[in-house]
Structure 1
Amino acid sequence: MSVVSALVVLYNTLISDSPSVSYFISANIPVYVCDNTTNGNIKRSNVVLSQQLTNFYYLDMHGNEGLAKAYNKGIEKISTPYVIFSDDDTIYGSNYLPLVRTWIFSTHADVLVPIVREVNSDTLISPCVYKHCRFAYLDSLESCPENFFAINSGLVVRRDIFDSYKYNEQYFLEMIDYQFIRDMRKEHKNILLMKDNLIYQHSSIYEDSYQSRIVRYNIDKKDTKIFYSNGIRERTFYYLRIAYKRMKLVCEKFKCCH
């Protein structure tokens, strides 16, 4: 029996085009795919291909239900001791899984966090720090504090944690990973950084479509309101943050029209 399964959420992506799905299939571990795809042709292709794969479990979300619902649905089906969470475009090196197994057996940690860099800029995007209500990238791992935050890409979590924990399904896309780390720290879980395990991730900050930024803003507005709800300071920061983002979009639209 495998010690770990992979849980990948797809959105309008062919199974065959996902580097993360391809990596986990080739590694011969159980792969659970929650498909949030809304494109009918892509969905049909994914259904057909999933039926041809072994040790592969396809879960149709019947539309884009967001990350939190997809995570919870996938976790319910998984029985291995650990779960790897992954975006569909995460890029893993050949040593990712061997290192994960080494860390699992040597530490028995509750949560294992890889180093994540942005694929285009090589920026260190995870772990990161939360200070004065803001998340900030680290200049280097040497400056990483013990109470770091992390994104979900490549995150390895003990399955039994989810016997008493579920992702908050009020979240759709943003802040889900940060909320998870915040909750795990409140529960005093053992969160370790795998300093020798590097993966790469595409970042939404490189989206160049104005319309895609509008969509992301509307999602961000709803999700961050949930995260920044702990006291007056966070709520004040939330409204200032959203006002600033809205102003940037208005200015951008004005420039495009003139």
Structure 2
Amino acid sequence: MKAYAVLVVYNKKLTDCPSFCSAVKEPDVQLLVVDNSTDELIHNQEEARKAGAWFLSMNGNKGLSGAYNAALDRLESESGDWVVLLDDDTVIPDEYWKQLRQEVPDAIRLPVVRTYHGEIISPAEMKHDIPRSAKSLDCISNITGINSGMAIPKRLMLTYRYDENLFLDFIDHQFLKDMKQSGESVRILPVELTQDFSADAENIESAMNRFRILRSDLKVFYRQNPWKFRFLITKRKIKLYLQLRNLEVFCG
């Protein structure tokens, strides 16, 4: 197996990223770090070099789609079996790499991703073009999932480029939607990852900043279905209010 792991980091030291520590240990995995950081005190290039990882600086936060496209441009001429997408807040067990070595790169693989509370957040089911938690992993009729741990046959990434109008959210759902429409298969990788789900903000300022990004991305994703956009935004506002007990969430 030859895999390229793409890790996008934002204002976080590589040594604090469990996925970085996991990928650099694997001899048949070439890690590519794409740094979207805006914090001038974050210096990841030297740490990446010492670990044998490739490094790309985006010179500021260009969004997740922009970072992925820069990574794909860098990997375009490289030969290999897989492109693996890693989040900076996901714990990747050794079993993940062992299982991936047993897989033939004939379909996109989605591992099972849980929050620290045990909730399964990926794979999920796309119902009426809205991602919902799957009741059972055995009978998902229209599979979708998140980027974290997604393993993609490298041949699929030779021509695909992400829509940079999507800054952070629903990039994964759009990618899988595009792939399925082109006839590609998506299968579950029987291994579990654990993610510190970043949507659970604890203060009003960070929550509202995160909400504004979500609102912008949902508007792009549902540009043909504005009622779904309004439905999901209202749902998110109610969730934020119940979480923060602050009426400001309804003003954003």
* Pick aligned residue for 2:121 from 97, 105, 125: 125
> The residue matched to 2:184 in structure 1 has which SS?
coil
1:48 aligned partner: 46
* Amino acid across the alignment from 1:74: A
* Pick aligned residue for 1:173 from 162, 165, 168: 168
| 1:121-157 Cα distance to aligned partner (Å, 9 max, x none) | 1101111112234321123323x32421111110011
1:103 aligned partner: 103
* Pick aligned residue for 2:65 from 65, 68, 76: 68
* Amino acid across the alignment from 2:170: M
Structure 1 residue 203 corresponds to structure 2 residue 202: no
2:30 aligned partner: 30
* Amino acid across the alignment from 1:113: L
* Pick aligned residue for 2:147 from 143, 148, 152: 152
Structure 1 residue 140 corresponds to structure 2 residue 129: no
The number of equivalent residue pairs is 243
> The residue matched to 2:15 in structure 1 has which SS?
helix
Task: Give the Cα separation in 2 of the matches to 1:171 and 1:67.
Answer: 8
> The residue matched to 2:24 in structure 1 has which SS?
helix
> The residue matched to 1:204 in structure 2 has which SS?
coil
* Amino acid across the alignment from 1:222: S
2:179 aligned partner: 184
- Normalization by structure 2: what TM-score? 0.89
| 1:50-71 Cα distance to aligned partner (Å, 9 max, x none) | 23232x1010010111100101
Structure 2 stretches lacking a partner, 5+ long: none
Task: Give the Cα separation in 2 of the matches to 1:70 and 1:136.
Answer: 26
* Pick aligned residue for 1:253 from 243, 246, 249: 246
* Amino acid across the alignment from 2:58: M
- 1:139 to 1:62, Cα distance in 2 relative to 1, 3 A: same
2:222 aligned partner: 228
Q: Percent identity?
A: 28
Task: Give the Cα separation in 1 of the matches to 2:230 and 2:86.
Answer: 31
Report the CA distance between 1:236 and its aligned residue. 1.2
* Amino acid across the alignment from 1:218: R
Q: CA RMSD in A?
A: 2.0
Task: Give the Cα separation in 2 of the matches to 1:240 and 1:115.
Answer: 27
* Amino acid across the alignment from 1:89: D
2:206 aligned partner: 212
- Normalization by structure 1: what TM-score? 0.87
Relative to total residues, which structure has the larger helix share, 1 or 2? Answer: 1
1:82 aligned partner: 82
| 1:73-99 Cα distance to aligned partner (Å, 9 max, x none) | 112222223100010111111111010
- 1:123 to 1:249, Cα distance in 2 relative to 1, 3 A: closer
Task: Give the Cα separation in 2 of the matches to 1:20 and 1:39.
Answer: 20
1:162 aligned partner: 157
> The residue matched to 1:32 in structure 2 has which SS?
strand
Structure 1 stretches lacking a partner, 5+ long: none
- 1:255 to 1:218, Cα distance in 2 relative to 1, 3 A: closer
- 1:73 to 1:121, Cα distance in 2 relative to 1, 3 A: same
- 1:197 to 1:11, Cα distance in 2 relative to 1, 3 A: same
Report the CA distance between 1:10 and its aligned residue. 0.4
Alpha-carbon contact 2:33-2:48 (below 8 Å) kept: no
Task: Give the Cα separation in 2 of the matches to 1:112 and 1:17.
Answer: 26
Report the CA distance between 1:242 and its aligned residue. 2.5
- 1:5 to 1:210, Cα distance in 2 relative to 1, 3 A: same
- 1:52 to 1:205, Cα distance in 2 relative to 1, 3 A: closer
Report the CA distance between 1:255 and its aligned residue. 8.2
